């Protein structure tokens, strides 16, 4: 059962894995589609691990990304949750805008996960960057 405790452990495993390859194998189907609101759509292990990793030329170059899950809801093969993402910059970089070494910035997300055989086959993220200059939609 994918409950809040499961996602807490999942988030901790993600946050401490410097190379996300083994993490991917544990939790993700090889044919996964991962849809990021600003960074595009990633298909399969190579694309997603390259996006997640923090080394030079990787998608998170200079960034240590930490996930904080809350309000997890699971129904059959679907899970939805909110999560706060903490980005810690360990060098100057450009991730969702120019960043300096030592910067810490946050985003607030909703995420939808589809499962196949107990692993994630499709992930869709929605992200509100925590920045005072951004307005937000107001619909119900």
Partner 1 sequence: MGKKPIRTVADFEAFFAAYNARNWDVLFQYVSDDCVWNASEQCVQGRQAMEAYWLGCHKAIKETLGAPQKVVFGEGMAYLQVPIIMEFLEDGTFFGQAYAKGSVIRFWCADAYTFAPDGTIKECRVYSKFD
User: Is residue 108 involved in binding partner 1 (CB under 8 A)?
Assistant: yes
* 49: its two tokens: 């691990």
Contact with partner 1 (CB under 8 A) among 16, 82, 96, 99: 82
Q: Is 102 strand, coil or helix?
A: coil
Stretch that binds partner 1, among 44-52, 54-62, 91-99, 109-117 (CB under 8 A): 109-117
Closest CA to 23 of 56, 54, 57: 54
Query: Could you tell me the smallest distance in angstroms from the CB atom of residue 80 to partner 1?
Result: 3
Instruction: CB nearer to partner 1: give 49 or 72.
Output: 72
Pairing of the two strands 28-36 and 119-129: parallel
User: Is residue 6 involved in binding partner 1 (CB under 8 A)?
Assistant: no
Closest CA to 126 of 83, 74, 77: 83
User: Is residue 37 involved in binding partner 1 (CB under 8 A)?
Assistant: yes
User: Is residue 98 involved in binding partner 1 (CB under 8 A)?
Assistant: no
What's the gap between Cα 137 and its chain centre? 22
Specify the residue for token string 């929605």. Answer: 126
- Which residues contact partner 1 (rule: CB under 8 A)? 37, 71-75, 78-82, 108-110, 112, 124-128, 132-140
């Amino acid at each position: 059962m994918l409950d809040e405790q499961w996602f807490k452990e999942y988030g901790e495993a993600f946050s401490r894995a410097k190379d996300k390859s083994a993490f991917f194998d544990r939790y993700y189907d090889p044919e996964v589609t991962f849809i990021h609101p600003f960074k595009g759509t990633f298909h399969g292990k190579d694309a997603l691990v390259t996006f997640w990793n923090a080394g030079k030329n990787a998608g998170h170059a200079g960034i240590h990304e930490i996930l904080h899950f809350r309000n997890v809801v699971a129904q059959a093969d679907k899970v939805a949750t909110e999560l706060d993402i903490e980005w810690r910059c360990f060098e100057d970089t450009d991730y969702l805008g120019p960043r300096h070494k030592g910067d810490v910035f946050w985003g607030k997300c909703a995420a939808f996960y589809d499962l196949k055989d107990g692993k994630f086959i499709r992930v869709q993220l929605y992200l509100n960057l925590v920045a005072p200059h951004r307005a937000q939609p107001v619909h119900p």
